[in-house]
Amino acid sequence: MVKGENRVAKRRGQKYEQIIEAAVKVIAQNGYHHSQVSKIAKEAGVADGTIYLYFKNKEDILVSLFQEKMGRFIQKIEDELAGETSIEEKLLLLISMHLQQLEDNHALAIVTQLELRQSNIELRNRINEVLKGYLKLIDTVILLGIKEGIFSEELDVRIARQMVFGTIDEVVTNWVMKEHRYSLVALAPSVHKMLLKALSK
């Protein structure tokens, strides 16, 4: 049996939030490999053992962190998209909001673009599960575009989605690696223009 497997973690509570915020801060500052549980606990103002009342294990902090942050991230984009009518606007909105949300939270950007990717394959798979929600959202936009006759019906939706996500993700990663020295969201129109052309008839 894997350690801690049969522990029941509380999914809510003030400390739950504290610990997640502490994890983002500590990981962004110190890097994934120097972010010991004890450091996160200290930053969160709780004892080491308390972490394990709220999370099954260290990996669970990271997955939960990603779930919480990504959940809101997707929710916000979904909400905004609902209000837009044209497919072109929807695509621009998706790109802009993706870039905006990460530009608004440098620490989170470092964590999602660099640090969390240093995790092992198993954790990466669980992170990808969370990411699926976002990828579905992209699919929805692409499918709608095809349905509305704006995007090419010959598109391989899977490949198209990989292009959209791969492009935005690469743009963000480059921005993080360049230490946020320029405006990220300002790149949205340029990215949008290219992606729109790529997808259009």
Is 34 a binder of DNA (CB under 7 A)? yes
Shortest reach from residue 138's CB to its own copies, in Å: 12
Q: How far is CA 140 from its chain centroid?
A: 18
Nearest CB to its own copies, comparing residues 19 and 127: 127
Is 27 a binder of its own copies (CB under 8 A)? no
| Dist. CA 34–CA 164, nearest whole Å | 33
Is 50 a binder of DNA (CB under 7 A)? yes
Q: Are 39 and 30 in contact (CB under 8 A)?
A: yes
Nearest CB to DNA, comparing residues 50 and 105: 50
Kindly state the tokens that stand for 27: 């990981």
Shortest reach from residue 163's CB to its own copies, in Å: 4
Contact segment (CB under 7 A) with DNA among 49-57, 76-84, 98-106, 128-136 equals 49-57
Is 121 a binder of DNA (CB under 7 A)? no
DSSP 8-class letter at 111? I
- Classify 7 as helix, strand or coil: coil
Burial of 153 (0-12, 13-18, 19+ CB in 10 A): exposed
Is 125 a binder of DNA (CB under 7 A)? no
CB under 5 to 8 A by kind: which of its own copies, DNA, none does 185 bind?
none
Residue among 27, 57, 23, 54 at smallest CA distance from 126: 57
Is 83 a binder of DNA (CB under 7 A)? no
Three-state SS annotation for 9-54? CCCCCHHHHHHHHHHHHHHHHHCHHHCCHHHHHHHHCCCHHHHHHH
Selected binder of DNA within 24, 51, 141, 142 (CB under 7 A): 51
Kindly state the tokens that stand for 145: 């575009």
Residues near DNA, by CB under 7 A = 3-4, 7, 10, 13, 15, 33-38, 46-53, 57-59
Residues near its own copies, by CB under 8 A = 1, 31-34, 114-115, 117-121, 124-125, 128, 155-156, 158-160, 162-163, 165-171, 174, 177, 187, 190-191, 194-195, 197-200
